[in-house]
Amino acid sequence: MIELGKWGIKNVRIIDKCNSVIELYIPGVNQQDRVDIKLTLIDAMRGISIEDKTKKELQKWRAKCQKENERLDWGIQATKKLIKSYGEE
**Pairwise CA distance, residues 68 & 63, whole Å:** 9
Q: Is residue 3 situated within a structural domain?
A: no
List the domain range (segments joined by +) for residue 53: 8-88
At residue 23, the pLDDT reads 93
Number of structural domains the chain divides into: 1
Res. 87: pLDDT tops 90: no
User: DSSP alpha helices (H): ranges in 1-89?
Assistant: 41-45, 50-88
Q: Is residue 1 situated within a structural domain?
A: no
More confident call, 29 vs 37: 37
Residue 1: pLDDT band (50, 70, 90) is: low
At residue 69, the pLDDT reads 94
With a CB cutoff of 8 Å and minimum separation 6, the contacts of 35 are: 21, 22, 24, 57, 61
At residue 50, the pLDDT reads 97
More confident call, 86 vs 8: 8
Q: Is residue 2 situated within a structural domain?
A: no
Q: Is residue 36 situated within a structural domain?
A: yes
